[in-house]
Amino acid sequence: MSRVRMLDPHVADLIAAGEVVERPAGAVKELLENALDAGATAITVEIRAGGAGFIRVADNGGGMSAEDARAAFLRHATSKISVKEDLFAIKTLGFRGEALAAICAVSDVDCLTREHGAVIGVSISVSAGQIGDCTDAGCPEGTTVIVRNLFYNTPARLKFLKKDATEAAHISEVIIRAALSRPDVSIRYIKDGNELLCTPGGSLLDAVYGALGRDFGSLLAGVSNSENGVEISGFIGKPEAARGDRARQYFSVNGRPVRGRVLTAALEEAFKGEIPDGKLPVCVLNINMPPEQFDINIHPAKAEIKFIRDKEVFDAVYFAVKSAQQKADMLPALQVKRSPLTFSVNTNPPLSQVSAYLSVLSDIPVIPIIPSAVKAPEEEVLSLYFASPAAPYALRELPRETEEKDWRFVGEVLGGYIIAESEGAIWLIDKHAAHERVIYNRLKDRAAAPMPQTLLTPSVVSLPEKQCAVLLEEREFLENAGFEFENFGGSLLIRAAPDFAEVFELPVMLGEIAEKFLSGIRTPALRDDILHIVACKAAVKLSTRSSLSELMAICGAVMDNPDIRHCPHGRPVAIRLTRSQLERQFLR
């Protein structure tokens, strides 16, 4: 007797069910997709506990006739595609005709549905894949599917389910992703009788507020771009929204939530240098492109996407994000707590001097800064700081010069932070971070034609043998960055250095560069990394005293150049306090 035989259809369904619905969230995803494919404008998802016991998805879409409802639960039954060509231009979320068959193979399903325009609806129950009779039922237009006892007949699967809270969290994620990729549809999510999420069916921002909350929504900048037939709209998070994981990177393609390495890579590349190393950006980006340009049929749950032309999609996303960053104001706002405030004047400078400053600085705003000497969190003591003693006098000489500009240099405080004013806002600039960015940009601009500065007296730099050796090996590369040096009996004789570099910084700078080479990572970004090191070492230190002209130059660079917003490591160079934020603090 032959040992090879056809699988029993029910066993085949159980196997397919394992792929399509791995966990309750998988069932919710499939039912949501069916509702969206049916043209619903409002969908309610209700679950109890972790969803395995009870899931209900109700929609107001086109509904099914009795005949369709009976067929819908059969394996490979679909109304969405018919010939193989359809597979290459899929416009619906589902197309395999597997989901309902898979779900009902491992659960008890009740379905109530009324076709658009029909006088009466039908009710059908399916248990362990056995389709019951269709009976007439009074119900609204649209479809409601209730799934109970998921995985009751597949104990192994049931055993692998995580705690209810974990399964429910997976379901929330599925619903958030659907809500963000189809903001035009109102989606409601109820868990154990409580509404957890509701989007109104409107703009993407409405959906973001509904699905992710106001706090998240307030940290976004708009994206809108079209390139190579790839249309991109949505939002990127400002740098302060960045996080340690990718949980808040939402992409969709033609209304389908997707994951794709190209998308993530383009987003993260565009954020390099804008956010601190180790942090990951957030986004809600909806992409529209011709359906024949990608393949969604590569993953059982249709979550992964493959693009025919990776590079074009990468570029489209990258440039969309970059241009959004340039247009948007990516500066973080100064965070000041809202609880009742009392003011105290810091004793340094002394009070007598303070009043003297005030008379000189009468038109210069006094800057409240987040408490530097808070004793207990509930004691909100704001210290008032003033421009450095030299500033007001020097300022009197300089305003003529700055009158033409739309910003004003105010002074330096706390030995390192520059204060400026523009268009109803106060700017606090980190002089080191800003200077670092200025130098880095200049080094980058002139990378094609480096400008080494020949040292008056060549400087001998002693470094560990390994470091010296690697620097000598990479001499050509370093010459392109403005260094000239030679072997000097186990040390390096430096004849020229990039013109921003101070001689006394050279040993540390070269040591760090050598370590970079020794780490063995040869990415195209290596050159940038080395420029970072030069810029960081050459920039004024926060604690070093700077001349007024130096401070004014750094201030001007930040205020006049919108591309100087983050240091090369991604830390902000400035934060801003607007008049309205200030007024709120004063309860005006």
Which residues of this chain interact with ligand ADP, rule CB under 6 A? 30, 34-35, 37-38, 59, 61-64, 72, 77-80, 94-101, 143
Say which DSSP state 387 is in: -
Between 35 and 513, name the residue whose CB sits nearer to ligand ADP.
35
**Cα distance between residue 127 and residue 146, in whole Å:** 12
Stretch that binds Mg ion, among 93-101, 206-214, 436-444, 505-513 (CB under 5 A): 93-101
Stretch that binds Mg ion, among 90-98, 205-213, 477-485, 518-526 (CB under 5 A): 90-98
Taking the complex as a whole, the smallest distance from the CB of residue 585 to Mg ion amounts, in Å, to 53
Between 60 and 383, name the residue whose CB sits nearer to ligand ADP.
60
With CB cut-offs between 5 and 8 Å by kind, which of Mg ion, ligand ADP, none does residue 392 bind? none
Does the footprint of Mg ion cover residue 467 (CB under 5 A)?
A: no
Residues 6+ apart with CB under 8 A from 283: 223, 234, 235, 236, 237, 248, 249, 250, 251, 267, 321
Residue nearest to Mg ion (CB): 94
Between 97 and 202, name the residue whose CB sits nearer to ligand ADP.
97
String of contacts with Mg ion for each residue 31-50, x by CB under 5 A: ---x----------------
With CB cut-offs between 5 and 8 Å by kind, which of Mg ion, ligand ADP, none does residue 96 bind? ligand ADP
C-beta neighbour count of 528 within 10 angstroms:
16
Size of the site for Mg ion (CB under 5 A): 3
Based on the number of CB atoms within 10 Å of its own CB, is 183 exposed (0-12), middle (13-18) or buried (19 or more)? buried
Q: Are 134 and 122 in contact (CB under 8 A)?
A: yes
Between 103 and 501, name the residue whose CB sits nearer to Mg ion.
103
Between 97 and 556, name the residue whose CB sits nearer to ligand ADP.
97
Does the footprint of Mg ion cover residue 62 (CB under 5 A)?
A: no
With CB cut-offs between 5 and 8 Å by kind, which of ligand ADP, Mg ion, none does residue 56 bind? none
With CB cut-offs between 5 and 8 Å by kind, which of ligand ADP, Mg ion, none does residue 78 bind? ligand ADP
Coil, strand or helix at 56:
strand
Between 111 and 364, name the residue whose CB sits nearer to ligand ADP.
111
Q: Are 533 and 513 in contact (CB under 8 A)?
A: yes
Q: Mind giving me the DSSP string for 61-78? A: S----HHHHHHHTSTT--
Say which DSSP state 555 is in: H
Between 59 and 474, name the residue whose CB sits nearer to ligand ADP.
59
**Cα distance between residue 119 and residue 557, in whole Å:** 71
Please identify which residue in the block is written with the tokens 């730099």.
461
276-286 exposure pattern, b = at least 16 Cβ within 10 A, e = fewer: eeebbbbbbbb
Taking the complex as a whole, the smallest distance from the CB of residue 99 to Mg ion amounts, in Å, to 4
Q: Report CA-CA distances (Å) from 231 to 108, 138, 224, 254, 295.
A: 42, 43, 8, 10, 17
Taking the complex as a whole, the smallest distance from the CB of residue 300 to Mg ion amounts, in Å, to 13
Between 113 and 249, name the residue whose CB sits nearer to ligand ADP.
113
Stretch that binds Mg ion, among 96-104, 318-326, 518-526, 554-562 (CB under 5 A): 96-104
Furthest-apart CA pair in the chain: how many Å? Answer: 107
Site for Mg ion (CB under 5 A): which residue of 18, 26, 61, 94?
94
CA angle at residue 236 from 201 to 581, to 5 degrees? 90
Given the rule CB under 5 A, which residues bind Mg ion? 34, 94, 99
